[in-house]
Amino acid sequence: MSDYYKYHVFFCCNQREGSDASCGSHGASEMQTYAKDRVRALGLAGEQGCVRINKAGCLGRCGDGPVLVVYPDGIWYTYTDEKDIDEIVEEHLQNGRIVERLKV
- pLDDT by 10s per residue, the chain, length 104: 457 999 999 999 999 887 567 999 899 999 999 999 999 999 999 989 999 999 999 999 988 989 999 999 999 999 999 999 999 999 999 999 999 999 99
pLDDT of residue 73: 97
Q: What is the pTM of this model?
A: 0.94
pLDDT of residue 63: 85
Class of domain 7-102: alpha beta
**What ranges do the domains of the chain cover?**
7-102
Beta bridge partner(s), residue 54: 10
